Amino acid sequence: MKKLAVVFSSFIVVVGCTDKSKSTVEEVKIENKNTEIVMIKDNARGIINNTNSPHVKLKSIDIGDCQWTEGFWADKWRTAEKVMLPYMGTLLKGDTGHGYNNFKIAAGLKEGEHKGFWWHDGDFYKWMEASMYIYAVNKDEKIVEEMDEIIEVIGKAQQADGYLSTPIIIRDDIEPFSNRKYHELYNSGHLMTSACIHHRVTGKNNFLEIAIKHADYLYKLFSPKPDHLKRFGFNQTQIMGLVELYRTTQDKKYLELAEQFINMRGTYKIEDDDTTVGYPIGDMVQERVPFREETEAVGHAVLALYYYAGAADVYAETGEKALIESLDRLWENVTDKKMYVTGAVGQTHYGRSSRLDKIEEGFIDEYMMPNMTAYNETCANICNSMFNYRMLTLSGDSNHGDIMELVLHNSGLSGISIEGKDYYYSNPLRKIDGALDYDNMNVEFAERQPYLECFCCPPNLVRTIAKSPGWAYSKSQNGIAVNLYGGNKLETTLLDGTRIKLTQQSNYPWDGAVKITIDESKSDPFEMLLRIPAWAKGSKLSVNGKAIEAVTPGSFAKIERNWVAGDVISLDMPMEVKFIEGHPRIEEIRNQVAIKRGPVVYCMESADLPKGTKITDVYVSGSNDLKPEYHQDVLGGVTTIKTDIMIRKDMLDGMYNEVSKPKMVSYTTSLVPYFTWSNRGQGEMSVFLPVIWN
C-alpha cells in the first residue's frame, strides 16, 4: 500500500481511540489542500507503537489496556495520579518550575526571562506525557482540557519554520543549533514522544501537528548532513521521538532521520569546535566510536542509554544485523560489568573513560563500583529500564524483563519520596555523615528535594510509574506475555484481533504468589508466557491446580492450550531472603553482601540502629536468621527483613590503625527496602554490609 507524508494542518479524520474492538490497522483518508492522500493509519496505541514493526517479537499492548488494581504498583500509580502529577504540575506551571512560563514568554504572552536549564522544555513535555498515561486510565477530561490550553501556548511559541526550544527563542543573542550543549534535540525528542502519546490517547492532532512541523524542520536542517551539524544529536531522545513519529504517521523520512543520527556519530575527528564549547567531548557523548563498532558502554549514562534505546527502536524497523549485535554487546557490558545490584547505572559524578576522555555523571571502568560516590542519576536508571523494555520486545528474552523489574523496584523508585513530592537526583548505595563530607559528591543533596533546578529526573520517574501498566504485558505472535507482576486487569486484543480479558491478583513483590484468571478469550489455542525471574528458583506453575512441568528461571514459561473463561494460572515464586555478593573484581564490596528478597534490594539505615551508630560499624552475620515481616504501617506498607546484626565498637578514625580482634555487640533490628531510604529523617545508609561467616 502506498504510504505518503501528510500535511496535518488539514488532517480531518481521527481514528477513534475508545473502541477497543477495532482492528489494529486501517486506512484513513487525509485531505490535503491540493490532493487527497490515503495513508495507513495505525490504530494501535502502545507506549512504543511497535504493532507493525517487523523485527519485534513482543508487541505493545495499548495504553490503558492494563490497569493496576491492587497492591504495590496500584498504590504507586494512585500516588502518581493523586499526588505526584498534580504537585509537579503546580511546580512546573508556577514560578518555581517556570516550565510553562518559558513557553508563555516564548509565545509573547508573558514578559520575562527564560528560567531553568536548556533542557527544561523537554522535562515539561515529560510531565505532559505522564498526564496522558494517567488520563488513559482515569478519563478525567480536565486533564485533556488543561493539555489543550498548554498545547495552544506551545503552538504559539513555535517559530514559523517549526523551530521550538524556548531558551533560544526567548534570548536574541544565540542562534539555533549553534552549540549542542543547548540540548535542542533533547527537547525535540520529548516533544515528539509526548505528542505521539497525546495523539494515541486522545485521538487529537493539535500536539501532533506541532511535533510534525518541528520534525519537518529537523529533517530539512539535518538530512543534507551539513558539516557544522554533524556532531549534534547529543542527549539523544530525538531518535526515539522520530521513530515514534514514523510509527504514528508512517512517513519514512522520520525513520531515515532517526537512523542518520546513529550513522553520524563517531565519523569525525574528536576535537573541540564551535558547536562543542563548554561540555566534554569524545566518549562523554558517545562520539569516539561509531555505534556499530562500539564494545563498551561509555560516557554520560543518560546520554548513552537514550542512544541505545533509540538504536533499539531503529532496529525494530530496519532489522539491521550490525545494530542488534552492537545492542547485545552494549547490553551485556552494562548489565554484566557496570550495573549496580539495584539496577542503577553511571558509577561516577566525575571521571575518565577507559579511552581517557573526561566523563561526567557516567560510566567508568568495568567492575569499578563505588558505593558512597556512586552517581546513579535517577534518569540513567530509568533509561536502563527503557532500554531493557525495548530489548525485551526485540528478543523476547526474559532477562531483559528482569532488569526492567530490578530498576522499577529499586533504583527507579528511590528517586522519589514515599509521599511523592521530594526527589533525589543521584542514588548512591551508601551514605555516611561526618568527617568525610561526601554529601556534595554523591547524593547531590543529602535529602530529597521538593524541587530540583535540573528537573530531568522527577518527570521521568513519574511518567515511568504512570506508564508502568503498559509495560506489564506484551503481545506475542499468538498470545500474551506477562512481564510484570502485581494486581491488575488486562483487557486487550491479541495480534489476530480477538479479545482477551484477564485478572491478575498478587501482593507482589511482598508475596511471590500470582493468580491469573482468564475472564474472556478466543476458543482457539493461544499461549500465555510468564516471566520466571532468574532469581525465582523453585518456582511452581499450575493451571487449574494441575502442575506445569519444566519451569526454568531466567526464561518465559510457555503455556499453550485452549483457554476458557475461568481458567486459573497460579505461579508461586519462592521469596527467600538472599545474600548477594559481587564479582571478585569489584573491590569496593569485597567481603560484603547485599540482602535481596525477590526483586527488592534492602538497606540498613540509621533509623533502625542505636543512636550514634555509624553505618560503617554494622556487620551482618552469615548464620543469623533473615526474617521477612510485612508491616502495613511502615514506609507506605513494606516487607522488612528482621535479623541480628553485629555493631563494632572500637573502630578508630585514623587512616590506618592497628587491629587485633574487634569488639562487637549484637543488636536485633530490621533492614528496609532500598527505595524507601531517607524517608524517616536524615541519617546514614548502606546496601552492602560486611559479613561475618560463622
Strands 689-692, 618-621: pairing kind: parallel
Q: Is residue 416 involved in binding Zn ion (CB under 5 A)?
A: no
Q: Whose Cβ is closer to Zn ion: residue 331's or residue 425's? A: 425
Site string for Zn ion, 323-362 (x = CB under 5 A): ----------------------------------------
User: C-alpha 20: how far from its chain's center?
Assistant: 27
Question: Residue 642 Cβ, how far from Zn ion at the closest point, in Å?
Answer: 35
Size of the site for Zn ion (CB under 5 A): 4
- The DSSP H or E segment spanning 577 is strand 577-580
Please list every residue from 631 through 670 that binds Zn ion, using CB under 5 A. none
Q: Whose Cβ is closer to Zn ion: residue 127's or residue 510's? A: 127
Q: Whose Cβ is closer to Zn ion: residue 56's or residue 456's? A: 456
Question: Residue 379 Cβ, how far from Zn ion at the closest point, in Å?
Answer: 3
* Helical H segments across 158-227, by residue range: 166-170, 184-202, 206-222
Q: Whose Cβ is closer to Zn ion: residue 334's or residue 380's? A: 380
C-alpha 84/C-alpha 134 separation (Å) is 11
Question: Residue 543 Cβ, how far from Zn ion at the closest point, in Å?
Answer: 43
Residue spans of beta strands (DSSP E) within 212-357: 299-300, 348-352
Stretch of 130-138, 227-235, 455-463, 574-582 lying at the interface with Zn ion (CB under 5 A): 455-463
Strands 66-70, 487-493: pairing kind: antiparallel
Q: Whose Cβ is closer to Zn ion: residue 251's or residue 377's? A: 377
Q: Whose Cβ is closer to Zn ion: residue 259's or residue 377's? A: 377
Question: Are 457 and 415 a contacting pair, CB within 8 Å?
Answer: yes
Stretch of 26-34, 439-447, 450-458, 500-508 lying at the interface with Zn ion (CB under 5 A): 450-458
Q: Whose Cβ is closer to Zn ion: residue 59's or residue 115's? A: 115
Question: Residue 472 Cβ, how far from Zn ion at the closest point, in Å?
Answer: 24
Q: Which residue has the cell 528458583?
A: 537
Stretch of 269-277, 278-286, 389-397, 448-456 lying at the interface with Zn ion (CB under 5 A): 448-456
Strands 487-493, 36-42: pairing kind: unpaired
Contacts 24+ apart (CB under 8 A), 625-629: 626/577, 626/595, 627/577, 628/575, 628/577, 628/597, 629/670
Q: Whose Cβ is closer to Zn ion: residue 166's or residue 427's? A: 427
Contacts 24+ apart (CB under 8 A), 19-26: 20/62, 20/65, 20/491, 20/492, 20/493, 20/499, 21/493, 21/499, 23/497, 24/51, 24/493, 24/495, 24/497, 25/51, 25/52
Q: Whose Cβ is closer to Zn ion: residue 262's or residue 457's? A: 457
Q: Whose Cβ is closer to Zn ion: residue 105's or residue 456's? A: 456
Q: Is residue 457 involved in binding Zn ion (CB under 5 A)?
A: yes
Question: Residue 340 Cβ, how far from Zn ion at the closest point, in Å?
Answer: 16
C-alpha 62/C-alpha 436 separation (Å) is 50
Q: Whose Cβ is closer to Zn ion: residue 236's or residue 326's? A: 236
Q: How far is CA 7 from CA 16, 88, 556, in A?
A: 20, 34, 43
Neighbouring CB atoms inside 10 A of 98's CB total 22
C-alpha 130/C-alpha 81 separation (Å) is 9
Closest to 515 (Cα-Cα) out of 568, 593, 562: 568
Stretch of 316-324, 432-440, 451-459, 667-675 lying at the interface with Zn ion (CB under 5 A): 451-459
Question: Residue 362 Cβ, how far from Zn ion at the closest point, in Å?
Answer: 12
Question: Residue 448 Cβ, how far from Zn ion at the closest point, in Å?
Answer: 14
Question: Residue 382 Cβ, how far from Zn ion at the closest point, in Å?
Answer: 8
The residue type of 286 is: Q
Stretch of 49-57, 454-462, 504-512, 662-670 lying at the interface with Zn ion (CB under 5 A): 454-462
Q: Is residue 559 involved in binding Zn ion (CB under 5 A)?
A: no
Question: Residue 359 Cβ, how far from Zn ion at the closest point, in Å?
Answer: 16
Question: Residue 377 Cβ, how far from Zn ion at the closest point, in Å?
Answer: 5
Q: What phi-psi label fits residue 486: left (phi over 0), alpha (psi between -120 and 50 degrees) or beta?
A: left
Q: Which residue has the cell 508502568?
A: 468
C-alpha 500/C-alpha 524 separation (Å) is 12
Question: Residue 453 Cβ, how far from Zn ion at the closest point, in Å?
Answer: 12
CB-count exposure of residue 52 (10 Å: 0-12, 13-18, 19+)? middle
Please list every residue from 360 through 389 that binds Zn ion, using CB under 5 A. 377, 379
Strand partners, 68: 488
HSE value, Cβ hemisphere, 13 Å, CA-based, for 152 = 6
Tell me the residue nearest to Zn ion as measured from the CB.
379
Question: Are 391 and 440 a contacting pair, CB within 8 Å?
Answer: no
Q: Is residue 154 helix, strand or coil?
A: helix
Please list every residue from 20 through 49 that binds Zn ion, using CB under 5 A. none
Question: Residue 270 Cβ, how far from Zn ion at the closest point, in Å?
Answer: 25
Question: Are 572 and 416 a contacting pair, CB within 8 Å?
Answer: no
Question: Residue 415 Cβ, how far from Zn ion at the closest point, in Å?
Answer: 8
Among 456, 472, 604, 607, binds Zn ion (CB under 5 A): 456
Question: Residue 302 Cβ, how far from Zn ion at the closest point, in Å?
Answer: 6
3-state secondary structure 516-533: EEEEECCCCCEEEEEEEC
Note the residues at the interface with Zn ion (CB under 5 A): 377, 379, 456-457
